[in-house]
A = this chain, B = another copy of it.
């Protein structure tokens, strides 16, 4: 059963109507009266990270993935909690030292503090991360408007190549290997953009499950469709080089998930402001498509102007 269907069917009746959680249909909970924003996410060995051989990197990846839930909504994270499950090996002194050091580095980088959590004994390593921030306003899902432009920050696909390298499914020179693996473990978190997002975005989400999967979540309760231009979907020079080298198709790499870039929609009249902000922050922001009416089918247009169908839409959580 898909996570989405499961939540809708059995749990949406448990949330209060007309509050910030949008009937549990968003990545964060927003308590408007308290100006409080909270995200809760669990990351488990074998699902969200391959293994725990690099604790210093895995812990950074899970922290950043959770920070991304707030920053993609225009909220600055303030503190966090970790509930960690694992066995003696997970919590060896060697690993604990590495985890603690990594957390300190992330705290300094993102100006956040650990405020509590839990540790439990389990045969599998997993982390539940709670992130708390404060904001008067947030950018929701499902608030895209007809004719909105669709934007994405940074580059897509690098993280997926990193995953394939770690799984030994792609072989490549050491310099590129290092680049992609680093993109897999250390997604960019755009704190500076978060401060400005509410000024121009109508709706937003972070890309964790894949461009298409997350775009469909972004508009899932709305009678709207999308049109994307493959040419405009941003990839890094390293990915472009790798695709040429390995004769791989761009389409197979841009919607696989774990990108943690911000996907947002904005009215066309915000176009100039967004270009300015992109320049002033030194942050790549690409216009990749448009929000259309429900009568039109959602589509991707390739380099030659032809409609193409994506086979693998991204990662859907199933049980």
Q: 0/1 per residue, A255-297, Cβ < 8 Å to B?
A: 0000000000000000000000000000000000000000000
Q: Which of A13, A14, A48 has the most CB of B within 10 A?
A: A14
Tell whether A15 is near chain B: CB-to-CB under 8 Å: yes
Contacts A81-B40, A115-B29; A10 near B100 (Cβ below 8 A)? yes
Q: Tell me, in angstroms, the Cα distance from A186 to B41 when the chains sit together.
A: 27
**Quick check: A104 and B13 within 8 Å, CB to CB?**
yes
Within 8 A of B (CB), among A77-111: 79, 81, 83, 85-88, 90-91, 96-97, 99-100, 103-104, 107
Q: Which residue of B has the minimal Cβ distance to A87? A: B319
Q: Which residue of B has the minimal Cβ distance to A115? A: B29
Could you say which of B13, B83, B114, B115 contacts A100, with CB atoms under 8 Å apart?
B13
**Quick check: A28 and B116 within 8 Å, CB to CB?**
yes
**Quick check: B317 and A10 within 8 Å, CB to CB?**
no
Least CB distance from A31 to B in Å reads: 8
Least CB distance from A229 to B in Å reads: 33
Contacts A3-B119, A21-B116, A116-B21; A14 near B85 (Cβ below 8 A)? no
Least CB distance from A300 to B in Å reads: 29
**Quick check: A128 and B6 within 8 Å, CB to CB?**
no
**Quick check: A107 and B42 within 8 Å, CB to CB?**
no
7 contacts across the A-B interface (CB closer than 8 A): A7-B119, A14-B104, A15-B114, A36-B132, A40-B83, A47-B121, A88-B319
Apart from A31-B115, A34-B36: 8 A-B pairs, beta carbons within 8 A: A13-B104, A14-B103, A14-B107, A14-B114, A15-B116, A34-B134, A41-B118, A42-B85
Interface residues of A (CB under 8 A from B): 1, 3, 6-7, 9-11, 13-16, 19, 21, 24, 26, 28-29, 31, 34, 36, 38-44, 47-48, 79, 81, 83, 85-88, 90-91, 96-97, 99-100, 103-104, 107, 113-124, 126, 128, 130, 132, 134, 317-319
